[in-house]
């Protein structure tokens, strides 16, 4: 559910923004799955290729009878690679904010992996401090956080989220995480401003949600998708730019936009390997493994909880 108070507060200031979690209703999740298959969008296929090559080593590090917990699970496509290679995983908990999408995915997983307990949890993982009580015997809790979703958080909040994940997994637990790397800005531009307009539709879908769920009157034709790389901040900013001076109503709240004023809907930070490892150490992890593709576009890390 979208919070009226949160949305109106975020849009009433000079720096207009929306939480990226609102991008992911059922339609938003479906559009993101389409983005992952686009030629310009390198992260998904690159991370998948890294994992496929490194899976024997990753499975050996994780060990047998783990409880696998995925944050922002989506369609769990990459998770299937893990479940196929892990030694006797006892349970898998996909956590996602989109209830309909999660239900569909969990149903498919239960049919595909009848020997593994599937425990879907519909929740906003950014606000999840503890898991429900689980009656599952396991040797180790392993969190899975692919897709460089960690890049959607500013460094301070990223450390806090990593700390919460480490608390969930406990000492000796682990985190397998995908991290996007700094690279040629032209590659980033193409990835976030695709020629088919799928990312634009994904971005504008948040306005569709505001109209539907909060009774807003956004005119989608008066907002344009734009996702530049802000080099001094090391992040891509996904924006919805107003093409005209206009006033939008959200319930009883009026939001005024100047021409070219924008709503920032998502940030995607890019890291160096060393920079991410410093972040992980600050959050209480030891780096156990790191894998990169030959072009060094993307990275996968295994972190062990030490505190």
Span 198-209, pLDDT tens digits: 999 999 999 999
Q: What is the pLDDT of residue 246?
A: 98
The domain of 235 spans 4-22+185-269
Residues 232 and 171 both lie in one domain:
no
116 in Cβ contact with 90 (< 8 Å): yes
**Where residue 136 falls among pLDDT bands split at 50, 70, 90?**
confident
Is residue 220 pLDDT above 90, yes or no? yes
User: Does some domain include residue 91?
Assistant: yes
pLDDT value for 27: 95
| 46 and 171 fall within a common domain | yes
CA distance 201 to 35: 10
In a domain, 31, yes or no: no
Examine residue 150 and state whether it is found in any structural domain, yes or no: yes
How many domains would you assign to the chain? 2
pTM above 0.75, yes or no: yes
Residues 74 and 169 occupy one common structural domain: yes
Same domain, 216 and 112: no
46 and 152 both lie in a single domain: yes
**Parallel, antiparallel or unpaired: strands 117-118 and 91-96:** parallel
DSSP reduced 3-state for 186: helix
In a domain, 261, yes or no: yes
pLDDT-based confidence at residue 229 (cuts at 50, 70, 90): very high
3-state SS track over 207-275? HHHHHHHHCCCCCHHHEEEECCEECCCCEEEEEEEECCCEEEEECCEEEEECCCCEEEEEEEECECHHH
Tell me, yes or no, whether 146 lies in a domain: yes
Question: Looking at the domain assignment, is residue 142 inside a domain?
Answer: yes
The dihedral of CA 287, 138, 66, 80: what is its sign? negative
pLDDT at 238: 98
Residue 258 lies in a domain: yes
Closest CA to 303 of 101, 58, 75, 91: 58
Q: Are 156 and 261 in a shared domain?
A: no
Same domain, 274 and 211: no
> What is the rounded distance in angstroms from the CA atom of residue 155 to the CA atom of residue 187?
23
Residue 129 in 3-state DSSP? coil
Pairing status of strand 140-145 against strand 174-180: parallel
Residues 189 and 179 in one domain: no
Q: Is the pLDDT of residue 50 over 90?
A: yes
CATH of the domain at 81: 3.40.50.150
Q: Using CA of residue 151, residue 152, residue 157, residue 162, what is the dihedral sign?
A: negative
pLDDT bin (cut points 50, 70, 90) of residue 248 is: very high
Q: Do residue 243 and residue 294 come from a single domain?
A: no
* Strands 235-242 vs 223-226: parallel, antiparallel or unpaired: antiparallel
Q: Are residues 145 and 215 in the same domain?
A: no
Residues 238 and 294 occupy one common structural domain? no
Q: Is pLDDT larger for residue 130 or for residue 285?
A: 285
Same domain flag for 46 and 172: yes
Determine phi and psi for 240, rounding to 5 degrees: -115, 110
36 lies in some domain: no
């Amino acid at each position: 559910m979208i919070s009226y108070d949160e949305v109106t507060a975020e849009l009433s200031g000079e720096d207009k923004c929306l939480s990226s979690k609102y991008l992911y209703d059922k339609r938003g999740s479906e559009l993101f799955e389409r983005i992952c298959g686009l030629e310009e969008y390198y992260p998904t296929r690159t991370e998948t290729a890294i994992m496929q090559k490194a899976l024997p080593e990753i499975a050996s590090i994780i060990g047998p009878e783990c409880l696998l917990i995925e944050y922002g699970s989506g369609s769990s496509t990459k998770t299937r690679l893990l479940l196929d290679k892990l030694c006797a995983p006892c349970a898998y908990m996909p956590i996602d904010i989109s209830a309909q999408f999660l239900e569909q995915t969990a149903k498919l997983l239960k049919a595909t992996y009848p020997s593994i307990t599937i425990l879907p949890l519909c929740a906003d993982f950014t606000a999840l401090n503890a898991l429900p009580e689980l009656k599952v015997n396991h040797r180790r809790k392993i969190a899975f956080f692919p897709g460089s979703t960690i890049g959607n958080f500013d460094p301070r909040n990223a450390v806090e989220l990593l700390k919460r994940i480490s608390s969930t997994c406990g000492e000796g637990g682990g985190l397998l995480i995908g991290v996007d790397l700094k690279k040629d800005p032209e590659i980033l531009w193409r990835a976030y401003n695709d020629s088919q307009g799928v990312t634009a539709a994904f971005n504008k879908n948040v306005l569709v949600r505001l109209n539907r769920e909060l009774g807003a009157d956004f005119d989608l034709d008066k907002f344009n998708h734009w996702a530049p790389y802000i080099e001094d901040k090391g992040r891509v900013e996904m924006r919805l730019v107003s093409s005209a001076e206009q006033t939008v109503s959200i319930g009883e709240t009026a939001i005024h936009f100047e021409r070219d004023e924008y709503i920032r809907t998502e940030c995607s930070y890019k890291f160096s390997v060393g920079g991410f490892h410093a972040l992980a150490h600050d959050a209480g992890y030891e780096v156990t493994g790191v894998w990169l593709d030959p072009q060094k576009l993307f990275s996968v890390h295994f972190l062990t909880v030490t505190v």
